Amino acid sequence: MAAMNGSLGTVGLCTIQDAPGSAQLTSLEMQAVVSLQGPATSPILIAEGHANAGFVHRLPLQAGQVWQAGTSVLMVRGPAGSADGDAAQPPTFVLRALDAQGVLALQRLHDAAAGSGTAAAAAAVGPQRPQDAQQPPAASQQQLPGGAAGALAVGGHFDSKTDKGSADLYFHYYGCLQHQQNMLQDYIRTGECSTAWLTAVRTRRRAAAVPGNAARCSLLNSCASIAVPSSLLPCLHLSVSLHPSYFPPSCLHTGTYYAAIIENPADFRGKAVMDVGCGSGILSLFAAQAGARVVYAVEASDMAHHARALAAANPGIGDRIKVLHGKVEDVVVPEKVDVLVSEPMGTLLVNERMIESYIYARDKHLKPGGRMFPRLGRLHLCAFSDEALYGEVAQKSAFFDSSDFYGVDLTALRQPATSGYFGQVVVDQIPPNVLVSNCITHTLDFLTATEGQLQDITIPLSLQVAVPCTVHGIASWFDVLFDGSQTQRWLSTAPGLPVTHWFQLRCLLETPLVVAQPGATVRGELRLLAHNRQSYDVHVMLQAPPLTPGGPMQESRGKFDLKEPYYRQQMQWMMQMAAAGGQEGGEAAVAAAAEVPLPAPLVVAQGAPVEQQQQQQGPMEGL
């Protein structure tokens, strides 16, 4: 591989000596001219004293030995035996940008270090496929204000609205194969799927035995009449009609995408496709299987290198896949595409704000009249009543009740701690029997929605509570539609269905509302305000009828950071594993799953407004 040479710019340079007890921890900052030498697999940073200052440092740029502190500071761990340190404690070289050119230089050095390991790995795999030509760095297509074409621009559309620390963690997470595997498998195995379905069926049977539950159970059965895997039908002993728009194989999420693409060959055969945020590249491979002429697989994280490897390992279809390593807001493709495929959904549908990138790709890369898989998403909201969850969260801050914690009074922190716990959204598998109202649906049409509409989303709520109960907050889930020209498919994350990696989500109010009359209406709104940490602040306001005639309306408000969830499902799993007692590995997991207690029977008053819960759109609107 050709060597890289040439001055990148002038920066400030000092060293930090990490050895404890050093007389001088930080050296005086001096100006240095920096340049790159050597092949991409082992780049060398040359830092030479400005204006013949008399020093030259040769620093290997190795992944894991170089890190950024914002855009203006780069730190490089020196090699063992550096003149400024010793073999045991090499110094850290701190490079500080002095101007805009310095910022560009530091970014170039950082990219060289990040690419050193992946370039070496690619060389070990074998020669690069022609279609895998490295996409230029994310923003290198833009021009600097001075007109210098081809140089790395500082920031782009994505960077302008996103906190850098959040983006770094985000792309690190999705650059790990273990997290990609979780999404591919969706935590679902056939055995777990069987347990979920059997539990749901047993729950409906128990609920049917409770007087007054006939109407509600009819609704549950209609909602549950989705595609049960045929292998499970003999063990269910249940006559259900299979809804044609669902496809839950052992990997519900991945299987639905596969079916949506493969069953619509007319939308893919001979077409140009873009996979937005391709991850491992699995959707790109599905599109190629469906006959796509070319698939532009766009991935900003280092998972792009694994996507290339996976495409290369499947030459019959992978040779039509071009992996572009960069953000979709920045990459350049040679043509408009006919189809966009993506998995842009997060918890509460919009978390991670990737739908905005999906919409950006639509505006920049999709031909007029092109198709999007998925086409639209729907967010479903209803009231829930769950005393167990409320008590569990409320007691978390009891630790701060201590007035003598090693001689320290902690009680002043009790209320802030309580508010903090109630400010977390709860992510878990919601038992259907805790849902107590009709369902409100908010639809996002990805073909017509704008990025601006996703910055502030307000959803009015008018919820008819079926039974006297305590309303503890709002439960939510989502589904998406794959609107193919030949077949339509829905992917749902609703309670009672086989679990996906999104689970469901609840906003738990610190002050619950008491509903004394069946059919009473709880009104309010759920508002989503986007923030630059790739998520939303969730504001919930609910009002319920007075507790006494002529009294004031009950009102409760809560603010939740969607970026800071309480993953209750993980805690429940740990408790189940502990309860399994002494078993290990898969045996413990199976035992724990088998011991999941059935939810309490549903209690629904006669004449509950079931009709309002049966939405006309799609197979699964709510319970």
137-187 pLDDT, tens digit per residue, is 433 333 333 333 232 333 578 777 777 777 677 667 677 766 667 666 664
3-state secondary structure of 216: helix
Residues 6+ apart with CB under 8 A from 313: none
pLDDT of residue 469: 96
SS (H, E, C) 313-375: CCHHHHCCEEEEECCCCCCCCCCCEEEEEECCCECCECHHHHHHHHHHHHHHHEEEEEEEECC
314-325 mean pLDDT: 92
pLDDT at 61 over 70: yes
| Pair of tokens at residue 98 | 């002095």
317-321 mean pLDDT: 94
> What percentage of the chain has pLDDT greater than the value 90?
44
Q: Give buried/exposed letters for 453-462 (b at 16+ CB in 10 A, else e).
A: ebeebebebe
In Å, how far from its chain's centre is CA 568? 17
pLDDT digits (tens, 9 = 90+) for 471-518: 999 999 999 999 999 999 999 999 988 888 899 999 999 999 999 999
Residue 40 pLDDT grade (very low, low, confident, very high; cuts 50, 70, 90): confident
pLDDT of residue 96: 85
Please tell me which residue, 256 or 619, carries the higher pLDDT value: 256
- Asked whether the beta carbons of 597 and 200 are under 8 A apart, the reply is no
pLDDT of residue 342: 96
Q: Are strands 366-373 and 337-342 parallel, antiparallel or unpaired?
A: parallel
**From CA 615, how far away is CA 383, in angstroms rounded?**
16
**From CA 72, how far away is CA 540, in angstroms rounded?**
39
Please tell me which residue, 527 or 172, carries the higher pLDDT value: 527
**From CA 595, how far away is CA 204, in angstroms rounded?**
18
pLDDT of residue 293: 97
pLDDT of residue 400: 93
**From CA 184, how far away is CA 281, in angstroms rounded?**
11
Cα–Cα distance list, 453 to 156, 241, 437 (Å): 20, 38, 28
pLDDT of residue 576: 53
**From CA 62, how far away is CA 76, in angstroms rounded?**
9
pLDDT of residue 165: 75
pLDDT digits (tens, 9 = 90+) for 191-225: 334 344 344 444 444 444 444 444 333 333 333 33
- Asked whether the beta carbons of 156 and 139 are under 8 A apart, the reply is yes
pLDDT of residue 436: 96
Cα–Cα distance list, 351 to 79, 560, 561 (Å): 42, 12, 10
Q: Are strands 272-276 and 337-342 parallel, antiparallel or unpaired?
A: parallel
**From CA 452, how far away is CA 428, in angstroms rounded?**
30
| One-letter identity of residue 323 | V
Please tell me which residue, 26 or 228, carries the higher pLDDT value: 26
- Phi and psi of 346, rounded to 5°? -125, -175
**From CA 590, how far away is CA 585, in angstroms rounded?**
9
pLDDT at 272 over 70: yes
pLDDT of residue 106: 86
Residues 6+ apart with CB under 8 A from 123: 1, 41
Instruction: Compute the CA torsion angle 38, 42, 43, 44 (nearest 10 deg).
Output: -90
| Pair of tokens at residue 603 | 């209690």
| One-letter identity of residue 71 | T
Most confident option among 109-113, 118-122, 176-180, 282-286 = 282-286
In Å, how far from its chain's centre is CA 37? 38
Average pLDDT of every residue of the chain: 75
pLDDT at 112 over 50: yes
- Asked whether the beta carbons of 336 and 273 are under 8 A apart, the reply is no
Closest listed residue to residue 478, CA positions, set 596, 592, 381, 398:
381
| Pair of tokens at residue 112 | 């060289």
DSSP state of 539: E
pLDDT of residue 557: 97
- Asked whether the beta carbons of 602 and 210 are under 8 A apart, the reply is yes
pLDDT of residue 427: 95
- Phi and psi of 542, rounded to 5°? -130, 145
Omega prior to 229 cis, within 30 of 0? no
Q: How many helices (H) and strands (E) does the chain have?
A: 17, 22
3-state secondary structure of 218: helix
Whole-angstrom Cα Rg for the chain: 28
SS (H, E, C) 575-602: HHHHHHCCCCHHHHHHHHHHCCCCCCCC
Q: Give buried/exposed letters for 303-320 (b at 16+ CB in 10 A, else e).
A: bbbbbbbbbbeeeebbeb
3-state secondary structure of 162: coil
pLDDT at 59 over 60: yes
Residue 11 pLDDT grade (very low, low, confident, very high; cuts 50, 70, 90): confident
pLDDT of residue 520: 96
pLDDT at 334 over 70: yes
- Phi and psi of 183, rounded to 5°? -75, -40
